[in-house]
Structure 1
Amino acid sequence: MQNIRTNNLKIAERGIWVSIGAYIFLSIGQIAVAELVHSDALRANGFNNVTDILGNIAILIGLRIARIPKDADHTYGHWKVESIASLISSFIMFLVGFEVLRETVMNFVNGTSESVDPIGSIAGLLSGLIMLVVYFYSRNLAKKTRSQALIASSKDNLSDSLTSFGTAIAVVASAIHMEWLDKVMAVVICAFILKTAYDIFRDSTFSLSDGFDDNLLIDYQHAVEQLHKVKRVKMMRGRMYGSNIFLDVVVEMSPDLSVFESHEATEDIENLLREQFDVFDTDVHVEPAALPEEEQFASRALELLPKEEQFLNDENIENLIEKDNFQEILFDGTVINSVEKLTKLSKKNLAIKNYQAKQVSKKTFILTYEYTDSTASYMVSSTWRRNEYWYCIFRQTTKIIKE
């Protein structure tokens, strides 16, 4: 898993390099054309691309550092550097966005206005098409690598594409004596810069402060509770390290399970979360679950009495019998197994007398009692063992001979 994630970060860098190359070309081109055609909207869009260059460089550095293996001082690895890089990127975007907004507003207040050459719209249109291609490339690569940083970068690519098309429209509008629309579009573009900066800031701080989506935890809990040996998920919490999910899970299992069986169940949980939800690391803690019988009855002897009554009267046998390890000796000496027992069922209405219970181990009870039918009286000895639930594993019936 470590090698796969490291390799994914390496592949994700390709998308960042493509974005940086496109932004360098477009920022230089748009700012230069903006000076020639006197378009505030085109100039704002060019500076928007400058912030994207700086932001993507910060993300690129973060991806490089995040790939460093864990060491003595970073036992969870360096994955969070990816979020730190995104946070720095948001600060850069905030600074440039406010500066471009300030300059645009000052030009509007001072009444600075120059005629706009409609040829500037070609630059905006070309920029929009290029960023749309970069968006599709980055988005597909982000899905393949599952890189949150690249996903954020691809969303920024789409935002830049839309604002570039808007810039082209504003330049054309200004050329037909609607100069105010050019300045309005410049303000709108600044708003897009600040909105994108805020979204990146919000997501990165949420991750760095160990925030986690509760809806994901609900999905994880539901999936884990479907596993056979898990009685209940008592607690689950998650945190993000870059694009990687780390989970702490506390589950309740039957106290009858061995250490080996409990450990095997924890591995099933880890595999499920990794394969179905792409969870990077899961720490599972097992606690003993309260058995339903122990919660319902005051003592084990009283718990087993109604079960033995059902057994005596051939009721619910399929849920009370240990199918793989059951043997019964009938009063005539015939020995039968679970399969034969289930084929000889005949509903009765018998009552237990002189019931006694003896505990021979934590999980094993021996019950003895008498019952009488229409022909004779009988003595029964049965052995019950608990394996998550109580099951009968041995039974012997002896006919009582009256003197």
Structure 2
Amino acid sequence: MELYTNLRAGERGAWLSIITYIILSAMKLIIGYIGMSAALKADGLNNTTDIIASIAVLIGLKISQKPPDSDHQYGHLRAETVASLIASFIMMVVGLQVLTTSIKGIFNPVHETPSLLTAIVAIVSAVIMYAVYRYNLALANKIKSSAVRAAAYDNRSDALVSIGTAIGIFGAIFGYPIIDTLTALIVGIIIIKTAIEIFWEAVHTLTDGFNLEETETLKKLISNVDEVIVLEDLKGRTHGNMSFIDVTVTVNPNLNVIESHRITEKIEATVKRFNPYCTVLVHIEPHEISTPVEDDYHF
């Protein structure tokens, strides 16, 4: 099945992120310690959480490829969502740790100027993470993977964090060491913000939330299908990259079973053109034709 082939292809993006984060986090933590930069160390710690998040995505992609069984008749596609939820908790803990350390640094400042090497490392890291972001975004668009796209946006935010880190370090080098600590504080806030966003997205999916814009688009497309008289109801839920749609429409009550079935096929084909990774369950009902009520009053 093409879906599972794409999930396997998505593993490349996860592996690229993992390897990149391992190298960059080690480099930032070591250089940040040697070069006396709190911001670079905070950025390196941020990348360690990204390793965990990328591993969670990788595990989720692998589990999602398991076929349906007696206990999971819709498959295991939500495994990557559960993994994202776990990763958000880990990121939150680390973000709070960075935030706490930074606040302590503001009240107990260390008057040490970070070395120029730490700024260079931050800039190089930003360039590398932007390249990884572009690769994963292209891969996500190619295989239509929301998990890989989320990883790509995480790569982009890390590139921005590294740019901010470089700015903070340069500020400290030019005689304003508090900027380095304040930048570490901002990095902590960014980690927490990203964790909250991942958490809410995962919870929204796991509680069967569905995109309102996609719902409205599907309603318009289905309502315009030939021989559909009224779209009575449409419900949707998401399992990984798959969407499951339940539709109730009314049709001419005089149609036979074969003719009604052809309408369901038209609806399925219409939805598939809009979203290839979508399973549609169509319920057909006869359209009630109102009949005029005879006047009971006689003159």
Using the size of structure 1 for normalisation, the TM-score is 0.71
Q: What is the aligned partner in structure 2 of residue 385 from structure 1?
A: none
Aligned residue for 2:229, secondary structure, equals strand
Q: What is the aligned partner in structure 2 of residue 206 from structure 1?
A: 204
1:109 Cα deviation after fit: 1.8
Query: 2:161 matched to 1:163?
Result: yes
Say if 2:109 and 2:178, in contact at 8 Å, map to a contact too: no
Separation in structure 2 between the aligned mates of residue 104 and residue 228 of structure 1, nearest angstrom: 62
Alignment of 1:200-349 (within 5 A): 200-291=198-289, 295-298=290-293
Aligned residue for 1:283, secondary structure, equals strand
Alignment of 1:45-64 (within 5 A): 45-64=43-62
Pick from 74, 77, 81: which aligns with 1:76? 74
Q: What is the aligned partner in structure 2 of residue 136 from structure 1?
A: 134
Q: What is the aligned partner in structure 2 of residue 106 from structure 1?
A: 104
Say if 1:59 and 1:86, in contact at 8 Å, map to a contact too: yes
Q: Which has the higher helix share?
A: 2
Q: Deviations over 1:69-92 (max 9, x none)?
A: 001111100011111011111111
Q: What is the aligned partner in structure 2 of residue 93 from structure 1?
A: 91
Aligned residue for 2:282, secondary structure, equals strand
Pick from 169, 172, 196: which aligns with 2:170? 172
Pick from 12, 22, 25: which aligns with 2:20? 22
Separation in structure 2 between the aligned mates of residue 92 and residue 224 of structure 1, nearest angstrom: 42
Separation in structure 1 between the aligned mates of residue 231 and residue 212 of structure 2, nearest angstrom: 15
1:4 Cα deviation after fit: 0.9
Say if 1:273 and 1:279, in contact at 8 Å, map to a contact too: no
Separation in structure 1 between the aligned mates of residue 17 and residue 45 of structure 2, nearest angstrom: 15
Alignment of 1:28-43 (within 5 A): 28-43=26-41
Number of aligned residue pairs: give it: 294
Query: Aligned letter for 2:247?
Result: V
Query: Aligned letter for 2:248?
Result: V
1:99 Cα deviation after fit: 0.9
Separation in structure 2 between the aligned mates of residue 32 and residue 217 of structure 1, nearest angstrom: 49
1:276 Cα deviation after fit: 2.0
Bigger radius of gyration: 1
Unaligned stretches of 5+ residues in structure 1: 300-403
Query: 2:10 matched to 1:12?
Result: yes
Query: Aligned letter for 1:152?
Result: A
Separation in structure 2 between the aligned mates of residue 31 and residue 78 of structure 1, nearest angstrom: 37
Separation in structure 1 between the aligned mates of residue 283 and residue 111 of structure 2, nearest angstrom: 68
Q: What is the aligned partner in structure 2 of residue 151 from structure 1?
A: 149
Unaligned stretches of 5+ residues in structure 2: 295-299
1:297 Cα deviation after fit: 2.9
Q: What is the aligned partner in structure 2 of residue 360 from structure 1?
A: none
Separation in structure 1 between the aligned mates of residue 111 and residue 198 of structure 2, nearest angstrom: 34
Query: Aligned letter for 2:24?
Result: L
Separation in structure 2 between the aligned mates of residue 86 and residue 241 of structure 1, nearest angstrom: 13
Separation in structure 2 between the aligned mates of residue 161 and residue 111 of structure 1, nearest angstrom: 27
Say if 1:67 and 1:79, in contact at 8 Å, map to a contact too: yes
Q: Deviations over 1:231-279 (max 9, x none)?
A: 0110001001112111000000011110011111111111110122335
Separation in structure 1 between the aligned mates of residue 64 and residue 275 of structure 2, nearest angstrom: 21
Larger relative contact order (C-alpha < 8 A, sep ≥ 6)?
2
Pick from 44, 47, 53: which aligns with 2:42? 44
Using the size of structure 2 for normalisation, the TM-score is 0.96
Separation in structure 2 between the aligned mates of residue 160 and residue 215 of structure 1, nearest angstrom: 29
Aligned residue for 2:116, secondary structure, equals coil
Query: Aligned letter for 1:19?
Result: S
Separation in structure 2 between the aligned mates of residue 87 and residue 11 of structure 1, nearest angstrom: 22
TM-align CA RMSD: 1.1
1:37 Cα deviation after fit: 0.9
Say if 2:64 and 2:79, in contact at 8 Å, map to a contact too: yes
Q: Deviations over 1:217-238 (max 9, x none)?
A: 1111111111111101100010
Aligned residue for 2:112, secondary structure, equals coil
